[in-house]
Every structure is written in structure tokens, then in C-alpha cells.
Amino acid sequence: MPVDIFMTQLSPTMTEGKIARWLKTEGESVESGEVMAEIETDKATMELEAIDDGVMYKILAPEGAVVPVGTVIAVVAEEGESVPDDYQPDAAADHNDANTPVTTEAAAEALSEMVQTAPAAADNEELQLKPAGVFNADGDYDVVMIGAGPGGYVAAIRAAQLGLKTACIESTHLGGICLNWGCIPTKALLRTAELVQVIRGHGDELGLGVQGMTPQIDVAVARSRKISEKLNKGIGFLFRKNKVTHIEGTARFEPGNRLMVDDASGNTQQVTAKHVIIATGARARAFPGMEVDDEVVITYKQALIPKETPKELVVIGSGAIGMEFAYFYNAMGAKVTVIEAADQILPLEDTEIAKTVARSFKKQGIKIITSAMVSSARQQDGRAVVEYRRGDKMESMTADRCLVAVGVVANSDGIGLEHTQVVTERQNIVVDDWYRTDHPGVYAIGDVIGAPALAHVASHEGIVCVEAIAGKHPHAVDYGNVPGCTYCQPQVGSCGKTEQQCQDEGIPIKVGRMAYAPNGKAMGLGETEGMVKTIFHAETGELLGAHIVGAEATELIVALQLARTLETTEAELIHHMFPHPTLSEMIHESVLDSQDRAIHQ
């Protein structure tokens, strides 16, 4: 007899699930243990397996439908079995007159009354059904990337792996800002700063015996440039290995679905492609009144290649970029002041974590001014003059250099979007869950579509985008579990919600904390400043957020971010055995603390 397939409770707290996609179609054979469908819950995507052999007779819940647990979503029949027209799934009987025969079609109608389709689910269903469209149906390439940053070059390589003929248009640097003028060279400089601070702060107790150390900023900068150059060449090798064509030049759209490329010699060529992905990234933002001249009032690019260490530096903005450069230049010997408009530094981080960094920076000699709105930053007689308001009072200060680190703005201008149907909001390109714009065959990924402007987000978006183009049905990016990392010392790593966000949303929580100070590995490293903070749902045990400040926080946070991806609760983390002696033991103690079970505090 036919077998009803129910929406199974795949986790202890699951009350409903969304049909992400069916892996079996009507009339297709089903074997016991095979995955029939992927089900999305509020926490993760899980697989629904068949318990018997048979044939998929009828699918009652379409892709995108949100279905309560216990509802029949499909019917499987035995091989060769004839299913009567009046066959009635068990769950449908509960919602109809018992004396009225119900066909599977009628059951589907009953199901539609039971299913609550959220707006996101409806959008996903539309994405599954609506043709993506193409830019040029007879294009020479299947996919062309505009930009070779961490979004564009990763997407290009993945597209080539999927068998798509791929090209990447880039005029300047393979690897983009991240590899050449951002993430990578910055981390190289920060390594120098870290060692300087270790020797200055702990050299005697570690028995290093280093006397009269003078940092050589020119040597540190030269090393960082060599690292970027090496990685840049590495991407070129990966392009050749994967048969990705690198087209050198600057791309722009023209009327009639034309994509033109201008090279450095002034030559122009048309590049034709079925699909075009815009991955042009972003550039440093400067608000009105901030007169960036790239000499005295500078952005991150000039901050990466100083000829000498300024005696005094003002940093406007205390996000990751501002804090990392403040730390670096302070270690190199500059007198550093950080000015932030919000009431705390690192405004996106948990308040406790931000306070820990603020205390550390002040001990290092860095001055921090919060709740200060900068009205102007300009060069005057070879010095930077910065004016700002705190409350009702206007104040000003001068320095040798002023670094403007107040965020980025999308590079969506200058590429001819006015000749397309692409929509922008505040200069960010508007896309759907699969990164399609309103222009058929044109997509956008990375910083050009807005926050979070992070290299790993752009790479992830690029992979999802090209896999969707190739019909591989990828999972949409989970923007609620993006890891944030700041590489100053102490480092900051975070994922999920902050304690304040949970309170604002009325979520009942349990919070655990563990300081670095009692940890044996931290003592051995001479890095006892910091803490691990874990936030759990008080009723379900779901890990809502994790925040770490201290040595190797950017490495440690991965474990807790992965735990969130795997829907781990406090119970699994408590049961898990952590190695000793390690910094990771603090994760265990923090989780134990949320249950008032901490051993070492």
C-alpha cells in the first residue's frame, strides 16, 4: 500500500520545516536510505531519507513551502503498485469530512491550507521556477567576472571547475584590494607589531634579553609587499590551471547588452557572455569635510606603505581597519588617537568585548575618544587638523597624519549601469538570494552589494552565485553566522548575536564567560588578557552568539561558528572533550559557566 511521507521532526526544537529542494521527482524510483529532500529549519539544512523502497508517486508540498511537523508532504508507492484515485493521506483526513473521499489532488489542496509560506519561502520558490535569463544567448563565454578580488577570482575558479567557459576582467591586481591593499599585507604588518609588543611587554619575563629594539617600518612594509606579490602570482597560476581567461582592462556596460573592455593602451574590445557577474568591490569612504589628499589625510592604501613612522596619528573610525592600523602605528612608535562617533569602539561587537579592547589600547598608550562626531579633517601647513563635536562642545586636534577609516562605498559607478536594468540603493547593487540583479543574466557579489564587506563573504557569495547559474541548487548564504575578525592585539573574533541584540529582541538567554587569566596555555604564552563569552537560548540551548577577545581569538572563533552551523547546543559542547593545555579549553569553561558548572573560576 502507499506510504505517506511526513515532515519529520529532525531536531528537538523543530516545529516546521521548509522544503529547500526535492531530490526525487514524481515517477522516480526511491531506495531505502536515499535522501529524498533537503529540509531547512530555523537553524540549518537537513536531509530527509526514505525508509522504504518504492516510487515517488506524488509530491504534495512544493519547494519553498513551510510545512508543520507531522504533515504529509509526499506519497511513495511500491514498484508497479496502482494507487487508487481516492487514496487519502492520513494527515489530510484530519482536515476533511471523514465520509468524503479525498484524492491526492484534494490532499494537496488541504495541505496548501495548512502550509504557512513565509515571504522568504515564496521568494525562494520563485527563484527555483523563474528562468534566470541570459545576457548574451550566444556569448563566447558562459560566465564573465568583472573584478578579480576575493569574490571575482574565487567565483571564476569555481565556475571553471563546473565546466563553464570563464573569463575574468581585471585591470590592476589579481586578488583585489584584499590581497594587495587590505587583508593580507595588513596582517603581515600586524605580525611585526605583535612581536614588537611581545618583546617590549614580556621580553624580560620571557628571558629574551633584547635591548634597545628599534622597529624598522620600511623593512616591515617591504616584507608585506613581497607577500602580496607572491599571492598575486599564485592567483595567476590558479587561473591558468583552471583555464580561466584573464582579460586585462576596465569593463563597462553599453546599450544593447554590450560589455566593453578598455585596456591600458586605449584599445577597446567587446566581450560576450551568457552571464556576467559584477564583483567590483568597494573603496574607502570619506564623508563631507574629510579632505583626503593621500599625503597628510590618508586612507588605508597610503597607511600600508608609509615611508616613515609619523610622530602623531589620528585615526577616524574604530572598526576593524581603524583599530588594526591604530595598533600597528602605536607599536611602531607613533602617538595614536582614535576618534569614534559611537559610544564604544568596535561598534558592531559585543559591549563587553569592546570594553576589553579599549582598556588594553589605553594601557598601550593609545588615546580613545568616543561619542565624537568629526566635522572636518584637512591639511593645514603640512599638518592634519581634525575638528569634532562631543556633546555641545567643538574640539580640535592636530597630528602629522590623519587616517580616515569610516567604512567603504561600493564601486558601482563608472561601469555603465545606467545602460542596464540593474538597480542600486545607496550605490549598492540590489540582488536576490542567488545574486541576480534586475537585468537578465547580470549578477553582483561582494562589497558592491553592501555589508558585510568582508573577503570571506564575497568568496562565499561568488561560489553560491556560480553554482546557482550551473543549476547545482546551492544553499543560500547564512548572513546570521558570518564570522567577524579584528587582528589587533588583543584580537577579536565573533559570530551570531551580541548580548544586547538578544535583550533588544526579547530572547531569554544564558551567558557564560571565561577569562584568559587562569588558563595555563595563556599564562605560558604571556597572553593573559581577554575572555571568551558564549550566549545560549535559555530554553532550547541554542548557541546564539559567541565572542572572543584575546590571543588567537580569530582562530578560536571558528570552532564556535562551526558549532552554530551544526546546530550545536550547550549540551554537546559540555559533553565534548577539549585538549589540555590549550586556549580552546576556555570555550569549554565558558559554556560550563552558562550552566553554573565552571571548574576553573
Rounded Cα distance between 211 and 52, Å, is 75
Across 477-599, where does the E strand assignment appear?
Answer: 484-486, 491-496, 509-515, 531-537, 543-550
Helix (H) or strand (E) holding 593: helix 585-594
Degrees, nearest 5: CA angle 9-14-15: 90
With beta carbons less than 8 A apart as the criterion, state whether 443 and 431 touch.
yes
Q: What angle (nearest 5°) sits at the alpha carbon of residue 447, between those of residues 446 and 453?
A: 105
Report the distance separating Cα 489 and Cα 530, nearest Å: 10
C-alpha cell at 369: 575618544
For residue 546, the Cα-to-chain-centroid distance in whole angstroms is: 15
CA distance 480 to 44: 11
Judge if the upstream peptide bond of residue 490 is cis by omega within 30 degrees of 0.
Answer: yes
Residue type, 490: P
Catalytic-role residue among 246, 576, 580, 588: 580
Residue 28 burial class via C-beta count within 10 angstroms: exposed 0-12, middle 13-18, buried 19 and up:
exposed
Among 399, 314, 327, which Cα is nearest to 362's?
327
Q: Is 120 exposed, middle or buried (0-12, 13-18, 19+ CB in 10 A)?
A: middle
Strand order in the sheet with 401-404: 297-298, 401-404, 312-316, 335-339, 367-369
CB atoms within 10 A of CB 575: 8
Nearest-angstrom CA–CA distance, 357 and 355: 5
429 phi, psi to nearest 5 deg = -75, 135
CA trace torsion 370, 375, 379, 385 (10° rounding): -50
Strand 282-284 and strand 297-298: the pairing is unpaired
Task: Give the number of C-alpha atoms closer than 13 A to the C-alpha of residue 338, restricted to the C-beta side.
Answer: 32
Q: 580 catalytic, yes or no?
A: yes
Q: Which amino acid is at 520?
A: G
Report cis status (omega within 30 of 0) of the bond before 255.
no
Please identify every residue annotated as catalytic.
580
